[in-house]
C-alpha cells in the first residue's frame, strides 16, 4: 500500500520525505489556503521534493474551465495529478483530461456508485473521504470495502486512495482491505511510529546498557 501525505505544508513534506515513507502528496483548496501561498508556487515546491503523485485540485465549476485549469497544472511538473470533484462537470473534465493523457484524482467521493462513475470516466485515483463518512454516523471502512469489491469485480485500473483519515487504526484497516493508497495528515505519520512498549523497551535497554558500562 502506498502512503501519501495529506498536507500543503512544505516543512512537513520535507520532514516525512526524509523518512523515505512519502509515496505522494494530496492537497486541497482548504490545505493550500491554510498555508497562505499561491497554489502554483506551493505545488511546484512539493513536486520538486516528492517524485510520486502530487494532487492539485481545480477550483472552477464548469467542465471547460476545469479542463483548462487541469491542463495548466499538468505543465507545472511531470508528477501532477489533477483533482476534479465528483460532479457531472468534474466527471466530464475527468474524461477530457484523461483522454489528453493527464491523470485525474476524482475527489469528494462518498458512495461506491460515485466511485464506479469515476472509474468509468477514466480516473487514475478515486478519493473516498472516510472520516467525513464516519462523522455522518456511517461506516467509512464499509465504503472502502465496497469500492475495492466493485473495482475488483470489473478489473478497473483506478486506484483507491483512502482520504480523510483521522486515526492510525484506519491506516491498518485500509491495508487489510487492500486499498491502493492511504493519504493522511502529518500527525498520523507520527502516531503510526509511536508505541508505548517501543518507548518502554528502549528505556530498559538504555538503563541495562548503562549499568553494564558502569561495572
Ligand atoms: C484528500 O485528498 C483530502 O485532502 C483530505 O483527506 C480531506 O480530509 P478532511 O476530511 O480531514 O478534511
Q: Which domains does the chain have, with CATH numbers?
A: 2-214 (3.20.20.70)
Can you tell me which atom of ligand 1 is nearest the CA of 132?
10
Please return the burial class of 5, using the count of CB atoms within 10 Å of its CB with bins 0-12, 13-18 and 19+: buried
Q: Which of 14, 41, 44, 83 is catalytic?
A: 83
Q: Residues 98, 99, 102, CA angle at the centre, nearest 5°? A: 40
Give pLDDT tens digits for 190-208: 999 999 999 999 999 999 9
- Give the residue, by CA position, lying nearest to ligand 1 atom 1: 163
Predicted confidence band at 117 (pLDDT cuts at 50, 70, 90)? very high
pLDDT computed for residue 215 by the predictor = 84
Q: How far apart are CA 104 and CA 125, in angstroms?
A: 6
pLDDT computed for residue 28 by the predictor = 96
- Give the Å distance between the CA of 213 and the centre of ligand 1: 50
Residue in 17, 1, 15 with CA at minimum distance from that of residue 51: 17
Give pLDDT tens digits for 33-89: 999 999 999 999 999 999 999 999 999 999 999 999 999 999 999 999 999 999 999
Backbone angles phi, psi at 19, to 5 degrees: -75, -15
Active site residue 194: no
Q: Which residue ranges have their beta carbon within 6 Å of ligand 1?
A: 6, 26, 28, 107, 127, 129, 131-132, 163-164, 183
Residue in 30, 52, 6, 14 with CA at minimum distance from that of residue 184: 6
Name the residue of 6, 56, 81, 182 to mutate for ligand 1: max ligand atoms within 8 A of Cβ: 6
Q: How far apart are CA 172 and CA 153, in angstroms?
A: 23
Please report which helix (H) or strand (E) contains residue 98, including its range. Answer: helix 88-99
Residue in 60, 54, 52 with CA at minimum distance from that of residue 42: 54
Give pLDDT tens digits for 137-190: 999 999 999 999 999 999 999 999 999 999 999 999 999 999 999 999 999 999
Amino acid at each position: 500500500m502506498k502512503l501519501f501525505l495529506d498536507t500543503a505544508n512544505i516543512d512537513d513534506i520535507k520532514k516525512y520525505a526524509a523518512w523515505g515513507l512519502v509515496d505522494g502528496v494530496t492537497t486541497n483548496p482548504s490545505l493550500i489556503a491554510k498555508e497562505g501561498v499561491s497554489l502554483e508556487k506551493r505545488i511546484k515546491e512539493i513536486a520538486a521534493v516528492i517524485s510520486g503523485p502530487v494532487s492539485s485540485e481545480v477550483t472552477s465549476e464548469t467542465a471547460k474551465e476545469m479542463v483548462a485549469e487541469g491542463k495548466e497544472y499538468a505543465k507545472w511538473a511531470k508528477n501532477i495529478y489533477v483533482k476534479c470533484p465528483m460532479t457531472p462537470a468534474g466527471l466530464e473534465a475527468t474524461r477530457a483530461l484523461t483522454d489528453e493523457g493527464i491523470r485525474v484524482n476524482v475527489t469528494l467521493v462518498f458512495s461506491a456508485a460515485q466511485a464506479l462513475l469515476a472509474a468509468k470516466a477514466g480516473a487514475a485515483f478515486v478519493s473516498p473521504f472516510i472520516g467525513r463518512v464516519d462523522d455522518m454516523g456511517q461506516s467509512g471502512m464499509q465504503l472502502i470495502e465496497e469500492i475495492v469489491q466493485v473495482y475488483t469485480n470489473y478489473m478497473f485500473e483506478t486506484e483507491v486512495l483512502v482520504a480523510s483519515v483521522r486515526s492510525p487504526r484506519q491506516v491498518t484497516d485500509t491495508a487489510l482491505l487492500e486499498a491502493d493508497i492511504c493519504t493522511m495528515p502529518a500527525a498520523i505519520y507520527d502516531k503510526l511510529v509511536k508505541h508505548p512498549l517501543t518507548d518502554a523497551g528502549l528505556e530498559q535497554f538504555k538503563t541495562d546498557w548503562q549499568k553494564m558500562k558502569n561495572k
